[in-house]
Structure 1
Amino acid sequence: MKVTFAFLSLAALTLTSGLFTVLLYDRFTGSGRTESVVATALAASPPAAATRPIPAQAAAPPPEQPKPSAKLDAPVIKQYPELPSGCEVTSLAMLLQYAGISKTKLELADEMKKDETPIRFDGKGGIAYWGNPHTGFVGDVTGKSRGFGIYHEALLPLLQTYIPGAVDLTGKPFELLQKQVEQGFPVIVWNTIDYAMPAKWVEWDSPAGRVKTTFAEHAVLLVGYDEQNVYVNDPILGEKGTAIDKAQFLATWEAMGKQALSYHK
């Protein structure tokens, strides 16, 4: 061990002496050899890993912003008279038909998930126990008895059945929904019937947990936007591209949990 240490010390001293000699020679002669010699020496004896500079990480590019406006020409379908509570599947039918898939609102109403938990009232006439819209459609979609609706995660599998590129955009920034429209993909969004903040919220228990919602819950197909408005195919109105004030629409969309479904090719 002592012999090895002595040998390494002698080698280090020799290298240091050699470098000093080269530097001194260059100082007096101006030969320009110093840079190449020192570089060769350092390459032969690289610094410890801990002293090496860490490469700077490239900054992530900012998200691409949507264009100021865009609008799609999607078919419009009215939920009435057959499906008075079927705004979600009617909006889905519009989206699928836009994508070239011939499915009717009645076919989709039969195929969608359902939570068939019977409704139970409390002593004051309020709902005490019922189904959960996160699990499946709650109530009767045809209006023969009380109906409510279905939320994004329960409707997503039906969309995936016909479009494998289906995406759940719930909770995402609205700019992403606008980007979808700009790229040619309409979006199902949950809102309220009159695009106003709910005046009354209701709550009940369900097999999948507590539900808090409003009977003003509604779903439409987002087909366009500009700086002031969004444009929707509303299954209640049965009109194409109805203009809704954007700020008002965003407030109620957020109140309903920022739910949204769309797709990619």
Structure 2
Amino acid sequence: MIHTKLIDVPLISQLPELPRGCEVTSLAMLLSHAGLHVEKERLAEEIIKVPFEENGLRGHPNDGFVGDMYSFETPGLGTFHSPIASLAQHYLGNQVVDLTGCAWERIEECIDKGTPVWVIVTSRYRFLEDEFWETWETAHGKLSITYKEHAVVLTGYDHDTVYFNDPLDNIKNRPVNKNDFIAGWKQFGHQAIIYQKA
């Protein structure tokens, strides 16, 4: 099925205020589409945060935002789906659905219904080779991690392409090769969050 009707999601840039804030900025876009205009800076304040390193263990991105979101001068990484879903539920309650682990087909079903999708993908929008990854010791055990992590909001797709709002490069409906994008998305464990219209 060729699908080129793009969902109109307001574009919000993470820069200059949030150099590492792609996840909360993408959430701000999702909330804005839902009719809730919440400043990205407010979401940055409200997201659960964990230290970059404590007692010899690195922070885990599913426990909260790891390290410093505001500056590259100090260590920081990002956050995964769980803290973002929790923060989204603060505003939208049980309308929020964490689809993490789902098949790509489920993502396309959401887009078909006019539902934008918050996702985590590699920052190169493709599969990343081993050289870009390292292993962290966390409170939950070993975690394979890369600093080339990015969050975007999917707004459309067709046979060969996905389209998304990119908070870092500030591009609305950015087109990228679909197979490459899916490969990068899968490397982060199929992370995806939507909201269902009330």
Q: Normalising to structure 2: TM-score of the pair?
A: 0.92
Structure 2 partner of 1:198: 128
Offset at residue 119 of structure 1 (A)? 5.7
Offset at residue 196 of structure 1 (A)? 2.6
> Where does 1:153-192 land on structure 2 (aligned, <5 Å)?
153-164=82-93, 165-192=95-122
Offset at residue 250 of structure 1 (A)? 0.6
> For 1:202 and 1:84, how far apart are their aligned partners in 2?
22
Higher strand share: 2
Structure 1 partner of 2:8: 73
Could you say what secondary structure the match of 2:156 adopts?
Answer: strand
> For 1:244 and 1:117, how far apart are their aligned partners in 2?
31
Amino acid at match of 1:203: T
Q: Is the 8 A contact 1:135 1:208 kept in 2?
A: no
Q: Which ranges in structure 2 are unaligned for 5 or more consecutive residues?
A: none
Q: Normalising to structure 1: TM-score of the pair?
A: 0.69
Structure 2 partner of 1:145: 74
> For 2:124 and 2:48, how far apart are their aligned partners in 1?
26
Structure 2 partner of 1:231: 163
Question: In percent, how many aligned pairs have the same letter?
Answer: 41
Distance 1:193 1:119, change over 3 A: farther
> For 1:163 and 1:171, how far apart are their aligned partners in 2?
21
Instruction: Pick one of 3, 8, 26 that aligns with 1:91.
Output: 26
Could you say what secondary structure the match of 1:177 adopts?
Answer: helix
> For 1:181 and 1:196, how far apart are their aligned partners in 2?
20
> Where does 1:47-126 land on structure 2 (aligned, <5 Å)?
68-69=2-3, 70-116=5-51, 118=53
Higher relative contact order (CA 8 A, sep 6+): 2
> Where does 1:2-21 land on structure 2 (aligned, <5 Å)?
none
> For 1:114 and 1:201, how far apart are their aligned partners in 2?
22
User: Given the alignment of the two structures, is residue 129 of structure 1 paired with residue 57 of structure 2, yes or no?
Assistant: yes
Higher helix share: 1
Deviations 1:26-49 (A, max 9, x none): xxxxxxxxxxxxxxxxxxxxxxxx
Q: Is the 8 A contact 2:157 2:163 kept in 1?
A: yes
- How many residue pairs get matched? 192
Could you say what secondary structure the match of 1:162 adopts?
Answer: helix
> For 2:88 and 2:163, how far apart are their aligned partners in 1?
22
Deviations 1:103-162 (A, max 9, x none): 011000000111125367xxxxxxx63100011110100014111010111211101111
Offset at residue 213 of structure 1 (A)? 1.2
